[in-house]
Amino acid sequence: MSTIAGQHIASGNVPLEPHQANDFERPPPIDDIRPLMFSFGSFDLRNRALVKVPGSDWSRPLSFDALGSSSEVVIPLSDRMNDAHLGLEIEPGRGRYSHTRVVTFTSRYVVKNTTGMALQYRSLYNATQAYVLSNGERQPLHTLLRSRRRLLTIACALTDAQGRPTPSVRDGRWSAPFSIDDVGRMFVRLPTTDGESLIRIDVVLDGACLFVIMQRESQCWPYAIINHTPVDVTVWQHHEKQTEDGTPVEPDRTYVVRAGESLDYAWDSPIAATKLLVVSAMGATRRVSLQEIGEQRPFVYSRPPRRGAVTDHTMNIEVVASGPRQVLRLTGYTPATSLFTPQPRITRTNTQQSTISSAEERFEVVEADEKTHAIYRLGLEGGIGISLINKHSSEILFATLADVELKYSDSTSNQTFKLSVKWIQIDNQIYGALFPIVLYPTTLGVSVAGVSSPPALVAVAVRAKDRSYGVEYFKYASVLAQELSVELDEDFLYALMDFVKFDVPGWNSSNDDTTGMDMLDSAVPEVKPVEDGMQLYFEFLHIQPFKLHMSFMRTQRLEVGGDPTSTRYPVSNSANVPRSELVGEGVASSSGVVAYAMNILTMAIGNINEAPVSLNALVMQNVRVSMPILMDRMHKHYSAEIFNQVYKLLGSANLLGNPVGLFNNISSGVSDFFYEPYQGFVMSDRPQDFGFGLARGTA
């Protein structure tokens, strides 16, 4: 093959049988960690491979050209009822093996028990078979019943006559089901002989493997309900299902919070699409979102007398953060301190229920006297210029940010930060470059009479001054970038790699004779959940769509040593340059982001011209998350989106398995959709536009 010397297929602890055309090679023994050398008969992006495991049919066709991708492979078993779930990672080799693609099959799901007691677990849809998981043990989960969602349920393991833990589906007291595809933290109630225990479940994505880590929560529950009203309150989780006559389904479990008391709470059904808590007092009910931090509309729980005050029959509802948990505070309604004010009765109603509903609608948000105290604006009409010059005193690129404006506004209740860049451009300064401009806005150069072109980049964040909620509270945050064109050639990427000077693993003299088995290590790593940092809360987080036009051209550059910006022609190794300084033929020899992108572009994609890449907008409401976790989820989300978009254009994407839920456990609502970036907008930075309840629809 012209660009691929070979492909290693490493198969963790799962015996695999690869199949290509009419050729069949027996897999190595399961305890043999030696990789399987595999190659297609010719280089063609339409090449596909089939994979099977013992007792299964052949998988759908897989492409091994999607370098850098991590995906799921679902292989149907011969019984037509179960599927085998594997993780698939395709990485470029390192050092001397950089011509080789390493295709690794791993367990898609690994379940680990650190609760301090023996557990049994099973698929929700499997009523006949369960598996025992001792304390400190972890097991791969390869086989699941064919279903739309991957749900597990757990129970305490029973013991046999010898005192050994044993599974029992019929006799076990099973917990509520939970999803093993939703990355993040969730809690389930585990029935025990002493009542119930709270189990914290962390789903961690590492490469193509999802680790399900179970641990007993001994510190605090995720929610607390504090009742400071004079009446007893009953709460339960809202069910979306209704009976045939349209009435709500009776709750499976209710909890009573006495006046002046509190209750530790966790969702009875953590897989519900919309999680709402129903609060009931004196026959009236109200649905409350525990994920919406802040004061919510007051709850009128009984019909006030004709001349009675509404405050005597109304409770204030407020959700605040207290450490890792969120607290629902139910207090008496006080108009002087509440953000809501009652309005005069407009119409009379005949039934108590409709009267209560009408009373709720009479509350409206108090219009605060919002004043702007200071506005600071830093404008750079000439813009900012950044030049990269390498160690040979040759310029690689020149980046231009034109008409840059930074604006800070301080008002009574909010602080607003806004960044606006009118024009963004990166020029390729290498002599004889195929593409003189690396990055530029695609459509902003076209002017329309009477219409001003929007900025190339706008970022806005509105931060609330109120610190009583226990988090860094952002009412609104948005990023909008206009349509961009990216044009790269091989020389430019080589020059960038030479500039960043990453270490070169596997190419120094001490490791020159390495066998590369460390690169093919099939052991499943130990992972830990990402630690929480300072908690951020976004009422409304809007990452607007990105649209790119990508071009890339190879130059068949074979330069060895010297200034990578000076020539595009081969240079012989007459100076006996040490091997550690060799660049290699058409591949990146250094590690890091630039080298990683270089390997992907040169080995898998080849030449492309104006390939459109469209990334959907990401809209989330009521997001509570730390910055490290948010950045980790964003990185995983957009990396997967870009890989799928690029490889889909080349017909090399493995669109198999269910998408991983990266944001379901940190927000109350997530949606993604696409519209043209020039149709995007960010809200103005006037303080009155960011009043109370911007994302909740109460303002």
Question: What's residue 607's pLDDT?
Answer: 73
d(CA 52, CA 503): 38
363, pLDDT greater than 70 = yes
What distance, in Å, lies between the first and last C-alpha atoms of the chain?
64
Residues 6+ apart with CB under 8 A from 332: 228, 229, 230, 311, 314, 315, 316
d(CA 386, CA 406): 18
Question: What's residue 349's pLDDT?
Answer: 45
Stronger pLDDT, 34 or 490, i.e. the higher one: 490
- Are the C-beta atoms of 137 and 190 separated by less than 8 Å? no
d(CA 416, CA 188): 39
Both tokens of 598, joined, read: 């270089």
With tokens 């630690």, the residue in question is 531
Q: What is the pLDDT of residues 224-282, one digit of tens each?
A: 999 999 999 999 998 877 666 666 677 888 999 999 999 999 999 998 888 899 999 98
Phi, psi of 314 (to 5 degrees): -135, 140
Q: Is 561 left (phi over 0), alpha (psi -120 to 50) or beta?
A: left
The mean pLDDT value for 576-590 works out to 40
Question: What's residue 198's pLDDT?
Answer: 93
The mean pLDDT value for 620-634 works out to 84
Confidence tier at 521 by pLDDT (50, 70, 90): low
Nearest to 187 by CA among 163, 220, 159: 220
Question: What's residue 515's pLDDT?
Answer: 52
d(CA 550, CA 484): 9
**What DSSP letter does each residue of 622-641 carry, written as one string?**
EEEEEHHHHHHHHHHHHHHH
Sign of CA dihedral 636, 642, 646, 651: positive
Stronger pLDDT, 588 or 469, i.e. the higher one: 469
Question: What's residue 80's pLDDT?
Answer: 86
426, pLDDT greater than 90 = yes
d(CA 183, CA 625): 13
**Residue 200, helix vs strand vs coil:** strand
Q: What is the pLDDT of residues 603-619, one digit of tens each?
A: 556 677 887 888 888 88
Helix spans in 336-406 (H): 352-361
Question: What's residue 30's pLDDT?
Answer: 42
Q: What is the pLDDT of residues 388-404, one digit of tens each?
A: 988 888 899 999 999 99
Sign of CA dihedral 96, 98, 102, 108: positive
**Residue 553, helix vs strand vs coil:** strand
Q: In what order do the strands lie in the sheet containing 23-24? A: 23-24, 17-20, 50-52
d(CA 676, CA 615): 10
**Residue 129, helix vs strand vs coil:** coil
Most confident of the ranges 79-83, 514-518, 520-524, 658-662: 79-83
Q: Is 613 left (phi over 0), alpha (psi -120 to 50) or beta?
A: beta
The mean pLDDT value for 514-541 works out to 69
The proportion of the chain whose per-residue pLDDT surpasses 90, expressed as a percent, equals: 22
User: What's the distance, CA 505 to chain centroid?
Assistant: 30
Question: What's residue 534's pLDDT?
Answer: 76
Question: What's residue 261's pLDDT?
Answer: 93
The mean pLDDT value for 305-320 works out to 73
Q: Is 450 left (phi over 0), alpha (psi -120 to 50) or beta?
A: left
Stronger pLDDT, 576 or 664, i.e. the higher one: 664
**What DSSP letter does each residue of 76-103 carry, written as one string?**
EBTTSSEEEEEEEEEEE--GGGTTEEEE
507, pLDDT greater than 80 = no
Question: What's residue 683's pLDDT?
Answer: 54
Confidence tier at 339 by pLDDT (50, 70, 90): confident
Q: What is the pLDDT of residues 5-26, one digit of tens each?
A: 334 455 444 555 555 433 434 4
Helices 593-600 and 490-500 pack at an angle, to 10 degrees, of 160
The mean pLDDT value for 47-64 works out to 87
With tokens 């290498």, the residue in question is 430
66, pLDDT greater than 70 = yes
Helix spans in 473-591 (H): 490-500
Question: What's residue 189's pLDDT?
Answer: 92
Lowest-pLDDT range of 29-38, 257-266, 360-369, 650-659: 650-659
255-257/546-553 β-pairing: unpaired
Confidence tier at 671 by pLDDT (50, 70, 90): low
Most confident of the ranges 171-175, 246-250, 344-348, 567-571: 171-175
Question: What's residue 587's pLDDT?
Answer: 37
Distance (Å) of CA 99 to CA 102, 585, 602, 626: 10, 9, 10, 39
The mean pLDDT value for 481-494 works out to 86
- Are the C-beta atoms of 93 and 516 separated by less than 8 Å? yes
Q: What is the pLDDT of residues 440-471, one digit of tens each?
A: 998 765 555 555 678 889 999 999 888 888 88
The amino acid present at 594, given as its one-letter code, is: V
196, pLDDT greater than 60 = yes
Question: What's residue 692's pLDDT?
Answer: 39
Both tokens of 548, joined, read: 């790119």
d(CA 606, CA 42): 16
Question: What's residue 599's pLDDT?
Answer: 57
Confidence tier at 308 by pLDDT (50, 70, 90): low
Nearest to 170 by CA among 137, 135, 122: 122
Sign of CA dihedral 426, 430, 432, 434: negative
Question: What's residue 13's pLDDT?
Answer: 47
Question: What's residue 360's pLDDT?
Answer: 47
Confidence tier at 588 by pLDDT (50, 70, 90): very low
Q: Is 172 exposed, middle or buried (0-12, 13-18, 19+ CB in 10 A)?
A: buried
Most confident of the ranges 243-252, 563-572, 659-668: 243-252
Confidence tier at 586 by pLDDT (50, 70, 90): very low
d(CA 131, CA 118): 11
**Residue 461, helix vs strand vs coil:** strand
Stronger pLDDT, 278 or 643, i.e. the higher one: 278
Q: Which helix (H) or strand (E) holds 647?
A: helix 627-649
C-alpha dihedral (102, 105, 111, 113), degrees to nearest 10: -50
Question: What's residue 580's pLDDT?
Answer: 41
